[in-house]
Amino acid sequence: MADEALFLLLHNEMVSGVYKSAEQGEVENGRCITKLENMGFRVGQGLIERRNTVLLLVDLFRFTKDTARFKDELDIMKFICKDFWTTVFKKQIDNLRTNHQGIYVLQDNKFRLLTQMSAGKQYLEHASKYLAFTCGLIRGGLSNLGIKSIVTAEVSSMPACKFQVMIQKL
Amino acid sequence: MTVHNLYLFDRNGVCLYYSEWHRKKQAGIPKEEEYKLMYGMLFSIRSFVSKMSPLDMKDGFLAFQTSRYKLHYYETPTGIKVVMNTDLGVGPIRDVLHHIYSALYVELVVKNPLCPLGQTVQSELFRSRLDSYVRSLPFFSARAG
C-alpha cells in the first residue's frame, strides 16, 4: 500500500508543480495539460517494457497468423485494460467499448487518482488536470507497442471517468 | 448513547473541521473563539497531565468527563488532534478516533490535491463519509439519549 500512496502524492505534486511554474497564458492555452500528458507519455513508454509485454507479443505472433488488424489492436487494448492498468492502478478497467474502427472507450468507475477527491460534482472543473498524465501513459504504452494514437479523457461524475483512444492509421 | 460533536485540529491550532450531531446548548461565544478555547484548553491539559503524572507517561491525556458528557481526545505524532464529545455511557474510543484520522482525514484530505493542508476542509466527500461513519457507530443513536 505504501507505494500507492507515494505515486498518488507524487502525481498530485507534479500537477501542482506544473501549474505553479506556468508562464503567462500557459494555463488557459492548455500548455500545462500538454506538459503533463508528455510526461505521462514518456513514463508509459518505459513502463510498457516489461515481462508481461513480451509474453503478450509472443501470443500475438503465434495465434494471429492472418493478422487481421483490428484483432491485434483489440488484444493490445485488452492488455492495456487488464495488465497495464493493474500494474499502475492495482485494478482493471471496468468497461471497454469499441466501434471496431479504431476508437476505444476505456471506462474506470473508480479511478484511483480521483477517488479521494470527490464522489460527485465537487471539484469537477479541476479533474482534467489529474487525468492528463494518465492519458499520456496510455498513449506512451501504445506507442511502444507500435500503435500511434490520440488519448483524451472525460469525467461527468467523480470518481468515474472515461479514456477515449483514437488509433491513428499510418 | 450518542455523539454530540467533533473537532479536528492541526498542529498549529487551526480548526480543520467541526461537526455536530446533538448539541442542545451552544457555548455562547462565536465559533472562532470556541475553537481557540478548545485548542488552548487541550494544549494546557496535555502539558499539565504530563507534568503532574506520578508515573511515567504512556499515552498522555485521553479523556475527561463531567456529569453530563465525556470528551475524548486523540493526537497523532504529526499534531493532528481529533476531539469527540459523547455522552457518559461511552467507553474508550481511541480506535474510532484513529479511524477518523487514518481512513478519513488521510485518505480524503491529505491525499486530495485540492484540499490545501492547514485550512478548513471543504471537501464534500470528507463531510459525507465522516457523517455516515459517525452515524454508523454502535454508540450513536438518532435520538439524543
- B125–A contact, CB cutoff 8 A: yes
pLDDT band at residue A22, thresholds of 50, 70 and 90?
Answer: confident
The partner residue sitting opposite B111, judged by closest CB among A5, A15, A119, is A5
A100 to chain B, closest Cα gap in Å: 37
**Neighbour count for residue A158 (Cβ, 10 Å):** 22
Mutate to test the interface with A, among B107, B108, B114 (most CBs of A within 10 A): B114
Mean pLDDT of A119-130: 91
pLDDT band at residue A169, thresholds of 50, 70 and 90?
Answer: confident
Q: Which three cell numbers stand for residue A143?
A: 506507442
Mean pLDDT of B105-111: 92
Question: Strand (E) positions, A40-92?
Answer: none
Cα angle B99, B92, B26 (rounded to 5 degrees) comes to 85
Helices (H) and strands (E) in chain B, counts: 3, 5
- A123–B contact, CB cutoff 8 A: yes
Question: What pLDDT shows up at residue A146?
Answer: 86
Mutate to test the interface with A, among B122, B123, B125, B131 (most CBs of A within 10 A): B125
The partner residue sitting opposite B113, judged by closest CB among A12, A120, A122, is A12
ipTM given for this complex = 0.73
pLDDT band at residue B143, thresholds of 50, 70 and 90?
Answer: low
Could you please state the CATH topology (level 3) that the domain comprising B3-136 is classified under: Beta-Lactamase (3.30.450)
Question: What pLDDT shows up at residue A115?
Answer: 92
Residues composing chain A: 170
B-proximal residues of A, 48-87, CB under 8 Å: none
What does the alpha-carbon distance between residue A76 and residue A141 come to, in Å, rounded to a whole number?
Answer: 10
Least confident of A19-33, A149-163, B39-53, B125-139: A19-33
A33 to chain B, closest Cα gap in Å: 16
Residue contact B125–A116, C-beta within 8 A? yes
For residue B85, the surrounding DSSP H or E stretch is strand B81-86
Residue type, A149: S
Question: What pLDDT shows up at residue B6?
Answer: 96
Question: What pLDDT shows up at residue A54?
Answer: 62
Number of Cα atoms under 13 Å in the Cβ half of residue B105: 25
For residue A155, the surrounding DSSP H or E stretch is strand A149-157
- B112–A contact, CB cutoff 8 A: yes
Mutate to test the interface with B, among A123, A126, A157 (most CBs of B within 10 A): A123
pLDDT at residue B145 greater than cutoff 90: no
> Which residue did the predictor score with more confidence, B145 or A135?
A135
User: Per-domain residue ranges for chain B?
Assistant: 3-136
**Neighbour count for residue B140 (Cβ, 10 Å):** 17
Percent of chain B whose predicted confidence (pLDDT) is above 70? 97
CB A129 within 8 A of CB A36: yes
A-chain residues within 8 Å CB-CB of B133?
none
pLDDT band at residue A61, thresholds of 50, 70 and 90?
Answer: low
Question: What pLDDT shows up at residue A100?
Answer: 86
The partner residue sitting opposite A116, judged by closest CB among B111, B124, B128, is B111
Q: What are phi and psi of B91, to 5 degrees?
A: -85, -160
Helices (H) and strands (E) in chain A, counts: 6, 4
pLDDT band at residue A64, thresholds of 50, 70 and 90?
Answer: very low
pLDDT tens-place string over residues B22-55: 999 999 999 999 999 999 999 999 999 989 999 8
Question: What pLDDT shows up at residue A56?
Answer: 64
Question: What pLDDT shows up at residue A51?
Answer: 52
Question: What pLDDT shows up at residue A25?
Answer: 80
Helices (H), B4-75: 31-52
Q: What's the mean per-residue pLDDT of chain A? A: 86
The partner residue sitting opposite B124, judged by closest CB among A13, A15, A122, is A122
Question: What pLDDT shows up at residue A68?
Answer: 46
pLDDT band at residue A60, thresholds of 50, 70 and 90?
Answer: low
The partner residue sitting opposite B125, judged by closest CB among A16, A119, A130, is A119
Mutate to test the interface with B, among A10, A32, A117 (most CBs of B within 10 A): A117
What does the alpha-carbon distance between residue B143 and residue A60 come to, in Å, rounded to a whole number?
Answer: 64
Grid look-up 468497461 returns A95
